[in-house]
Amino acid sequence: MKISLCSPTVLATLTLCALFAPSGCVADEGQSSLIILGAVPLEAEADCVAPSSSSVWSAGGVLDVSFAGTGMTQPIVVQNQLSQQQATGAGGGGIQTGEVRVSEQITEVWFATEGADALGHVDYTVPLASTSIAPGASQGLFLEMPSSIVDEVRDRVTAQFGSQVTVPMLMKARIRGLRSGTGTGREIESREFTFPFDVCFGCLRACLSTTVSVDDGMGNTTDTDLCTVDNCANNPGLTGGSCDNAYGGPVYPACCTGVAEDFPAASCM
């Protein structure tokens, strides 16, 4: 993973970089041939799988940065609009030149709220698993924000606004890959896809009723809540959300599983 914060020194430089940062240099043919069709709505009980098609698109997401070590995973659908072409080799074999193998996600994350100019933006590149998309076919992928980038976003928001706010953000992402075949000019890149999401502190955190009766062996029972801060202190993981990240839906401490009743998030802040 390559991370560029545009300027590692001062926030003023970040603002200048936000104004003058160059865009990717890829031929127009590539940008019209690999298309991010849209973001897929998150299903409450879905496994960590990005579907290859959707009839409904998501208008935005929510990322809760109050959990340490969380990332962000938003499923998207990418379509290869190249036509099917067969290049005949010297031995009579054929190479399918319309196939695209994705390789990386190039991303800018912008702070889209009043007073956020000094925060600049965060740039990063994430390598993707080598997935081939046939000509005319669609493939489900994830837009990803690693935990290190989430930490950077949280630190900047906290420094500027504190931790009792919800801040709108914009993710601007491109998918890069290679066309099958040989020779030069095989690199292909999608048009930029913009996805809005909110950053919050604790808005997805949910409480669970995990009270159990513990027998001390002498006939005495004590009601104990397994979800208290003390009981969860040594188990900082979480469950719920998209791919077990604090994104897209209710999130619980990892030790608070297998319970029967949910409580409002405000009760466990």
pLDDT tens, residue by residue, 2-36: 443 333 332 333 333 333 333 333 444 445 689 99
Beta strand extents in 136-192 (DSSP E only): 138-145, 167-179, 187-189
> Tokens 């949280």 map to which residue?
154
Question: What is the pTM assigned to this prediction?
Answer: 0.71
* Domain residue limits, the chain: 2-200, 207-268
Structure-block tokens of residue 37: 């069709």
Q: What is the pLDDT along the chain (269 residues), one digit of tens a residue?
A: 444 333 333 233 333 333 333 333 344 444 568 999 999 988 754 678 888 998 899 999 999 998 878 899 999 999 998 876 655 455 445 566 688 999 999 999 998 877 666 678 899 999 998 899 999 999 999 999 999 999 999 998 898 888 888 999 999 999 999 887 655 568 899 999 999 999 998 888 776 555 656 667 777 777 766 555 455 544 456 667 788 888 988 887 666 654 434 433 333 43
For 51-61, write each residue's pLDDT tens digit.
899 889 999 99
For 123-137, write each residue's pLDDT tens digit.
999 999 889 999 999
Q: How many helices (H) and strands (E) does the chain have?
A: 4, 18
Burial of 119 (0-12, 13-18, 19+ CB in 10 A): buried
